[in-house]
Amino acid sequence: MAELILKTDTQRELGTRPSRRLRRAGQVPGVVYGLGGESVSVAVDARDLRSALTTDAGLNALLTLEVDGDRQLSLVKELQHHPVRNEVIHVDFIRVDADVAVEVEVRVVLEGEATAVANEDGVVDQIAFTVAVLSKPESIPNELSFDISEMVMGNTVRAGDLELPQGVELAVDPDELVASTSIRVIEIEEPEVDEEAEVELDEDGQPIVAEDADEDAEQAEDADDASEGPAE
């Protein structure tokens, strides 16, 4: 893989207003630290940063930062985004040693189709989308995949079931749940009921339709008339 080089500017002014001016100029303020060295405030080109982090490695891309003429191997430790525009407003870089393992989050991808689960109206629910691993910087995998084709209802996928490349170790409990199976839940919409409409029931508890109600009303009126008797 080609080396990803990012040029940095260490002469940026500190503070909120200078940082805003930097962003308007297409720069992202940041800081570089780690390996016992001093923290250095920097600025990087926003387009170059975006380009470096949109490779298959994503946020785990191994970067070479040019800091005051010195090249420093680094990883992105943290990105801060604008809450509305989702633009990167600050970046933390951490220096790394090519020969020392670092802990990073690697995304988990479920591959295939669990036919046996689907045949029982079930689904495979992915619980964890990333897993922490220990790896030397140049050996960090882009992703960890698991084939769910042979899964049946009741099966689970745990961190220890993931196949790791050589030299990569789990940094979490092997029993950490990654995926499980469950019965598909289908929501049935209930018909709307007019709460204001009152339904009259007959002696057998059956609803009385309009024609029956009119007939019953006539019979009731006849009964009332008969009970009154002849007029004096």
103-183 and 4-96 share a CATH fold = no
- Homologous superfamily of 103-183 in CATH? Ribosomal protein L25, C-terminal domain (2.170.120.20)
Instruction: Give me the architecture of the 4-96 domain, per CATH.
Output: Beta Barrel (2.40)
d(CA 46, CA 73): 19
- Whole-model pTM: value is 0.71
Sequence spans of domains, the chain: 4-96, 103-183
d(CA 137, CA 26): 29
pLDDT along the chain (232 residues), means of 10: 81 84 90 92 92 90 91 93 88 95 95 93 95 95 95 95 95 96 77 61 61 53 48 43
Nearest Cα neighbor of 75 from 4, 133, 22 is 4
Is the distance from CB of 176 to CB of 158 less than 8 angstroms? yes
pLDDT score at 195: 58
Is the distance from CB of 105 to CB of 135 less than 8 angstroms? no
pLDDT score at 231: 44
Tally of CB atoms within 10 A around 171 = 17
d(CA 151, CA 113): 9
